[in-house]
Amino acid sequence: MSPAKQLRTLDQADFDRLLRWLDPDYHTAGSLYEKIRWRLIAILASRGCHVPEELADETIDRVARRVIDIRDTYVGDKSIYFLGVMNNVHHEYLKRRPQPHAVEPAPDAEAKERLYACLDRCLDKLSPHARQIIERYYAENRSAKITLRKRIAAELGVSASNLRLRALRIREKLQVCISQCLET
């Protein structure tokens, strides 16, 4: 691809075409898009890439521009097509000479305060039962933790692994709530 083409930003028509290629239903396609982006970022991070979000977006842009050519002929899992393009994007990134970069600084006190406020707000939104699970899951010190979790699991009539799963699901909801809260 020529540099001029690379510089061209993704237009709405390309993006809509990409979503339609992923799934005719707009909402299902949106959800698939989010999943694919998250997976690309996870893979790039696992490879030690310092700009995973940037390269994932570059990958999606390239696929979106190619959809017009491949949509009628491509056979197979569409996610794998993204992986192939991502490999090229990553390979090109490794061959370039990027500027050295310092690692993100730690959050300042103000950011921490905002996070705590959002955490409190999101904890308040949980059902009493879910709040109890999360509170007790994170309670107690390290050494007592395993014993405590077994006790909570017994009280709730579930296995320890099931309790972990429940706690992590609640934690996932909390994370989404906090992200939204921090954006506002």
Partner 1 sequence: MKRMSANQHSNLPADEVIRSFLLGRLDAAAQEEFEARLMMDDRLHEVVRQAELKLADDAASGRIERSERQLFARNFLLTDERRQIVAVSEALHEKFAPSDTPRVRMSWREMFRQPALRVAFGLLVALLLVGSFLIVTKQPRIVRTFFPRPIPIRRAPISQPQEVHHPTNQTAPLHRESDSSPLEHESTPPNSAFEAVVTVSPSVDLNQAPTIALPSGGNGAIRCQLTLSQTETNEFQVELWSLNQNVFVIDSAKPNGSQLEVDVPVRVLKAGDYEIRVSRVHDGSRQPVATYYFGVR
Candidates 38, 70, 150, 154: give the one binding partner 1 (CB under 8 A).
38
Candidates 18, 22, 36, 64: give the one binding partner 1 (CB under 8 A).
36
Residue 160 is which amino acid?
A
Asked if 65 and 10 touch (Cβ cutoff 8 Å), the reply is yes
Candidates 145, 143, 133; CA nearest to 171 is 133
Q: How far apart are CA 151 and CA 145, in angstroms?
A: 10
Of 86-145, binders to partner 1 (CB under 8 A) are 87, 90-91, 94, 96-98, 100-104, 107, 112, 115-116, 119, 134-135, 138-142
Residues 6+ apart with CB under 8 A from 179: none
Return the structure tokens found at 154: 């017994």
Of 145-174, binders to partner 1 (CB under 8 A) are 164-165, 168-169, 171-172, 174
Q: How far apart are CA 105 and CA 111, in angstroms?
A: 12
Candidates 131, 59, 139; CA nearest to 93 is 59
In this complex, which beta carbon is closest to partner 1, that of residue 65 or of residue 166?
166
In this complex, which beta carbon is closest to partner 1, that of residue 5 or of residue 91?
91
Q: Could you say whether residue 46 binds partner 1 (CB under 8 A)? A: yes
DSSP state of 85: H
Binding positions for partner 1, rule: CB under 8 A: 35-36, 38-39, 41-43, 45-50, 52-53, 77, 79-80, 82-83, 87, 90-91, 94, 96-98, 100-104, 107, 112, 115-116, 119, 134-135, 138-142, 164-165, 168-169, 171-172, 174-175, 178-179, 182
